[in-house]
Amino acid sequence: MDPASMKMEILRFVVFLISTVAVYSQDPGWIEKPINTFVNEGGNTTLKCRISNRGSRQLSWNKQNGGLLFVDGQKWTTNERYSILPHPEGYDLRITNSQREEDGEYSCSLQLSDLQESVRVTVVVIPGQPSIQPPGPLAEGETLSLTCSSIGGNPPPSVLWKKNDVTVSEGIVTSPPGDTFGVTSSVLTTVVSRLDHRSNFTCSVENDANIGSPRRVSAIIAVQYSPVISFGPYNPLTVIEEERTTLTCVIDANPLATDVRWIKDGTVIGTGVEYMFPSIQKANSGIFSCQAGNSIGTKRENVTLHVQYAPKVALRMSNSVIGSRSLTINEGQRINLTCVVDANPKISGDIEWTYNYGPVISYGPSYIIESVSRMNAGNYSCRARNTLTPSGRPSLQQTGSTTLEILVQYSPGAAEVSGPDFGLKGQSSTLVCKINDPGLPTASLQWTKFGSNEVIREGSTLTFDPVSLYDNDDYICTPRNEVGDGAPDTYRLIVNEIPEFVPTEFPATKTVQIHQRGLVLTCKARGRPEPRITWYKDNNALTELDGFYKIETTTRPVDTHSWNVTSTLYWKGPSRTPELDSLRIADAGTYSCRASSEISQDVLSQEMRLNIQYPPVINISMDKVAIDINQTAILNCQAHSVPPSNFTWYRGSQVLTPGGRMSIMEAMVPSAFPYRTTLSIQDVVMSDLASYRCEAINAIGQNSFSIQLVVRTIPDPPSNLNALARTWESVELQWQAAFDGGYSQHFIVAFESSHHSRNRVRVTPPHATIFNVTGLYPDTNYTFRIFGENELGGGDYSKSVTMTTSAFSIDPPLDVLYHKSDRTLTFKSPSSNYCGRVENFDGRQWRLYEQCANSSGSKIKVAEQVHVKEIRVALCLQRRQDICSEAVVAEAVSGGNEDL
């Protein structure tokens, strides 16, 4: 401070002392003392100073080493960052934009009193970025000394050391700064090892200005050390034989190892960190050494290698190793098999023996068969198990085995020959020979014919291609090997022949006239077995049963093993007239001879079309045509014939020709009578009513038919009335319609009996000629007649026919009782189709009480007003209530003083 400023400060202090002369009756006291305060550099803070009973005493603020700042509200400093805040109880010191100069001790005191309080204002400053002087290279076992320094922190920072993010608490000496905002330093001292190589040492500084955000500096050190050798997680190392295996020498060294060697049994076997076995063998087991060196030193470590393997199994017989997988011996020989096992680790459990890969048949190192039979032939296996425990992998159960096939020589078994049921001539046929046991060595199969020792073939099959009828024979198959023969088998080969026609006269078409006699047709076929020949007409089988045909069949052998069958069809039989061999129009058609056999589904067939020439046959359907005078009359005449017919119309002996009112037309129509001629007469007069004759003629003969032209009239009587069938209540009738008189007619049936007198029934439909008359009584004789009726009236009756209906009866009711007490009638019915007819006798006659009572309940209540003398019940058909059983008079039961 310069002299002028010092004089001014002294003057101010003198003035202050002079002004403190007031005397108070009460002592002053603290209301609020100032407190220690931290403020960030550039921040603001307020120090409070408040005193009671201050009176006129002056309050002053001072800064250590900074002089008087304020007396009451009067400022004694030129620092603009200080200001005073008046308060009734005192004055508060305000510091704004705090700088490092404001750091220090402040005191508030009251004049003429002992009230004074000093506090510390700390201007908080972040520590400076710390620094570490990096060390030079260190060798393992040397001492590391690291110094961390930070400048300017306030309050002085704390120092924290970490090694690889782990706090270090030992070997640390920290020195605080010599003055405010000075240098804080910390020294870390430790002895290093190889584990400290590339360790990261971190120094952190922190005070109130950077809590939670310390400033850090790091240094990574390098430590040199001799090689440290390891072999991974497994030593000893267990591996499995034949696997690819690598030994790895894991080396930790600084500087890097430059000389790495693999040594076994004192001999260097390889260099480099890896030693590889492409397929490790059990001989590779042992101790292997890895040697490595650098500028610091040389080290050597050992790893033990165990090679494990599944059991290796070999078979010996009578102390001799069996070199092949099969052994051929004779029946009866002794076998002594020994199972030799090499395994690491040793096998667990016993050695097992199996036969044909089945279950275990024996345990132990040996298996003996005292006398071998063919049943002992097969595969014999011995097996052993152990458990491999490779390093770092699950255990493995391993099985070693070997198999020996024992072949026992013996003669073959019996032969069995199979073949087709029969062979077909011209086709291939094969016999197959099998044996139930081929023997050892495998037998050959030899074929011979019965009665001959000549071998015709060797092998399992004997094929005939093509087979002939001469191959019909017995064939023998014999199994044979060097030990002996098996039982032979014989097979009889049957060779059949599919039917075929033998050429004979069998024309495709034959035309004869109907008057010809002695018509025959012959068909021949051969085959084995004998062919079966059948005859057909228009695909319908012909037999002799209908009396129109006669069939003769003969059989004779041919070519030793086959048959010739000859069948002849005769148009002859008792049903033919006038002679037994007369032809009929119906004989025309297609005739076929069919040859078949049980050995084939195919049927041979040859056909002949038979055409019958015959004179015209005229359709005689209506011999009258009715017409009204002055109308046109149409007369039709139809015929069939072969060859076709020519027609001529006659009136009497006069040949009619077209002209005037008369015309004649001929046409072909699709019907059974295809040739038709039509005579038309226009404007008929009475003189036209006459008989007209149609004559048909062809090369074979002629025929004629007369038609009467008449005026319209009543129908002619029907003809040929007869009864077709009957029941107990019906008769079915049939008749032939007669001339309808020129109008549409219908028919009426008239019948009578002891029950029915002169009844008539109209036939429906109108043109029917078969009709069932119903509603009749059983066991009754009826007389039936029929007549036609048209617009002009009814015609004459036909001839009558009689028929008696079938018998029919109903059993009477059972247990018919009248219960007087409640006036009920009960009875039993054998069927629900019946109802009860109830009659009451009033003393003079039987009167109907109920026509058809329901028989299901069979209980009838008799009205009170009905006087019951006697009562009876008959069972009647519900649908025909006039058909009843005999009536049964009820038996009266229980008491009562009236009725019955």
pLDDT digits (tens, 9 = 90+) for 690-706: 999 999 999 999 999 99
Q: Which residue has the tokens 């029941």?
A: 727
Contact yes or no for 667/647 (Cβ under 8 A)? no
Domain 619-711: assigned CATH number: 2.60.40.10
CATH topology of domain 814-893: Immunoglobulin-like (2.60.40)
pLDDT band at 37 (very low <50, low <70, confident <90, very high): very high
CATH of domain 3-124: 2.60.40.10
pLDDT of residue 329 exceeding 90: no
Question: Two tokens at 63?
Answer: 């800064």
Give the domain ranges of the chain: 3-124, 131-221, 225-306, 309-409, 415-493, 497-613, 619-711, 719-804, 814-893
Q: How confident is the model at residue 11 (pLDDT cuts 50, 70, 90)?
A: low
Query: CA–CA separation, 46 vs 69, rounded Å?
Result: 14
Q: Percent of the chain, pLDDT > 90?
A: 73
The confidence score (pLDDT) of residue 736 equals 94
Fold of 309-409: Immunoglobulin-like (2.60.40)
pLDDT for residue 18 is more than 80: no
Reported as a pLDDT band with limits 50, 70 and 90, residue 603 is: very high
pLDDT band, residue 855 (cuts 50/70/90): confident
> What pairs with residue 841 in β-bridges?
846, 870
In DSSP notation, 737-796 reads: ----TTS--EEEEEEE-SS-SSEEEE-SSTT-SEEEE-SPPTT-EEEEEEEEEETTEE--
SS3 525: strand
pLDDT of the residue at 821: 87
843-870 average pLDDT score: 84
Q: What number is the average pLDDT over the span 702-725?
A: 95
Cα(first)–Cα(last) distance of the chain, in Å? Answer: 173
883, 809 Cβ separation under 8 angstroms: no
Q: Predicted confidence band at 301 (pLDDT cuts at 50, 70, 90)?
A: very high
**Residue-wise pLDDT tens digits, 633-682:** 999 999 999 999 999 999 999 999 999 999 999 999 999 999 999 999 99
How far are the Cα atoms of 41, 148, 173, 433, 637 from residue 177, in angstroms, in the given order?
19, 13, 13, 120, 161
Give the per-residue pLDDT at 8: 55
CATH of the domain spanning 225-306: 2.60.40.10
Please give the CATH topology (third level) of the domain spanning 497-613: Immunoglobulin-like (2.60.40)
Strand order through the sheet with 888-889: 846-854, 834-841, 870-877, 888-889
Residue the block writes with tokens 């003079």: 844
For 472-478, what is the mean pLDDT? 95
CATH number of 131-221: 2.60.40.10
User: Mean pLDDT, to the nearest integer, of 411-421?
Assistant: 93
Q: What is the mean pLDDT of residues 863-881?
A: 90
| Distances in whole angstroms, Cα of residue 194 to Cα of each of 135, 144, 179, 292, 666 | 16, 13, 41, 16, 141
Residue closest to 864 by CA, chosen among 890, 896, 836: 896
Mean pLDDT of 436-465: 92
- pLDDT for the residue numbered 772: 96
Which residue, chain included where needed, has tokens 């011209």? 426
CA angle at 854 for the pair 851 and 858, rounded to the nearest 5°: 115
Q: Are 491 and 417 in contact (CB under 8 A)?
A: yes
Which CATH code fits 415-493?
A: 2.60.40.10
Same fold, 3-124 and 497-613: yes
204 and 214 Cβ atoms separated by less than 8 Å: yes
Number of helices and strands (H, E) in the chain?
1, 78
Per-residue pLDDT band at 202 (split at 50, 70, 90): very high
Q: What is the pLDDT of residue 9?
A: 56
Asked if pLDDT for residue 15 goes beyond 50, the answer is no
Residue 862 is predicted with a pLDDT of: 87
Residue pLDDT, tens place only, 52-76: 998 889 999 999 887 888 898 899 9
pLDDT in tens, 533-544: 999 999 999 999
Percent of the chain with pLDDT over 70: 96
- pLDDT on residue 23: 40
List the CATH code of the domain at 719-804: 2.60.40.10
pLDDT mean over 26-39: 91
Predicted confidence at residue 520, as pLDDT, reads 97
pLDDT digits (tens, 9 = 90+) for 228-277: 999 989 999 999 999 999 999 999 999 999 889 999 999 999 999 999 99
Residue 521 is predicted with a pLDDT of: 96
